[in-house]
Amino acid sequence: MAEHDPHILSYSHLREFPREKEALHSLKKIASLVKPLMRARGWKVNELAEFYPDQANLLGLNQNKTLKILLRLRYPGDKTQFMPLEQVVDTMLHELAHIVHGPHDEKFHALWNKLREEYEALIRKGYTGERFLSEGHRLGGSSRRLPMHEARRLARAAAEQRKRSGGSGQRLGGAAPRPGEDIRRVIVDAVERRNRALKGCGNTNHSEREIRNISDQATQNGFKTKAEEDAANETAIAQALWELVQEDEKQKFGSSYVEPSAQNPAGDMFPDGDKSQDQTSLTKGESSKSSSSSGPPPVPAATRPNQRPTASAENEPLTWTCQICTLVNKADFLCCAACENERSTEVSVELSKKDGKRPNTREVVDLTGSSPVRKRTKEEKKTATGGSNRPSNSAASSTWTCSFCGRKMDSQWWTCATCARLKDSS
């Protein structure tokens, strides 16, 4: 039995290069590994091609979302040596994320991370790709179509056996740290690998014409192969493993978890308590984006706030852009959420200046547990007995200035809201 609905229609490899059969095999293997992720979202790519660009750090390209994805399989400077498969798979996931999002913004990184987590979860369940399934998953030469309930049983049994034997898939980018290995070095290496993938993506630093020229050149030098139909039984087992991964995700994130789909490629990875908050912030972001592109629309009376009106720029949250990976981060993040690059002092000072120009609409919460009425009564008693005889000192000490970023803070706070530095004296 064969699957008549492939998600990658054709392959193109560089036939004149050494080990050309291995290159075609690698393309098919990569396509097979990511197929469950593509199937869940309804993605189809017309062509998956090998390319060998002159730019040494160029790892992948996405031409017109689903028209063609190009991957570097070989090391620059040595056409005979292939790059690690896990690294090329990560590039493939990166280019798949470009089907939905163009720029490397927060939404792009969220989708890329989701694809990586799903891929790693499939590997931990024992998935090695359709047509590349291990012998324990193959059904020999049987032509009988496998019922879905039997595929689920086989997949679950294989996953349990793998769990008992201690087998697990590696995370993308390398193995777990060895005993005695410097964990900081491991983190830095992981950040550098992610940065290489970001810098190696040609979609951000090449125009549409340049991408088309590179793609056409790769196609001219390549040999095109039509995708073969996949065995339906192997597809059923792969789908069953995917369902096991989704069951784990539902247990992890609760009833609010939403499986990825064509309408919602990133799914929903937030616990019950955070779901509404995330949807609210996303709605605000989309609203501000549409407002900036088409001018400020009239605000319906039903949605106007009761408080005094303020400018839209004043309501927008402060953000800063990472100089390494270009991710837009929230103002209270001291390092980039994607690459963990530390925020510079200049950026902290600039955020402090911007925050100082905004109207102070924050409400001060009394953490002493005393009600406002009781507090006023005690102050009146203190004033009547002459206990408060230094009003000037009280007024002078009502604020303090951060020695690191220069922001002024109320005296009741011990740390700076911008850079989190502890105040020098009490």
3-class state of residue 401 by DSSP = strand
Look over the chain and give the mean of its residue pLDDT values, rounded to a whole number: 71
Kindly state the percentage of the chain with pLDDT values over 70.
54
d(C-alpha 299, C-alpha 176), whole Å: 53
d(C-alpha 411, C-alpha 426), whole Å: 8
Q: Does residue 253 or residue 390 have the better pLDDT? A: 253
Residue 193 banded pLDDT, cuts 50, 70, 90: low
Q: What is the pLDDT of residue 359?
A: 59
Distances (CA, A) of 357 to 220, 318, 360: 57, 12, 9
pLDDT at 361 > cutoff 80 = no
Catalytic residue check, 95: yes
- Encoded amino acid at 116, one letter: R
Catalytic residue among 95, 106, 118, 249: 95
Q: What is the pLDDT of residue 119?
A: 92
Side-chain half-sphere exposure of 421, counting CA atoms within 13 A: 19
pLDDT at 299 > cutoff 80 = no
Residue 391 banded pLDDT, cuts 50, 70, 90: very low
- Encoded amino acid at 239, one letter: Q
d(C-alpha 31, C-alpha 160), whole Å: 26
Residue 275 banded pLDDT, cuts 50, 70, 90: very low
Q: Does residue 312 or residue 293 have the better pLDDT? A: 312
In sign, the C-alpha dihedral spanning 348, 353, 355, 361 is positive
Per-residue model confidence as pLDDT tens digits over 217-247: 766 666 767 766 555 556 676 777 777 788 8
Helix ranges (DSSP H) in 295-344 = 312-315
Q: What is the pLDDT of residue 122?
A: 87
Span between the terminal Cα atoms of the chain, in Å: 76
pLDDT at 97 > cutoff 50 = yes
Q: What is the pLDDT of residue 148?
A: 61
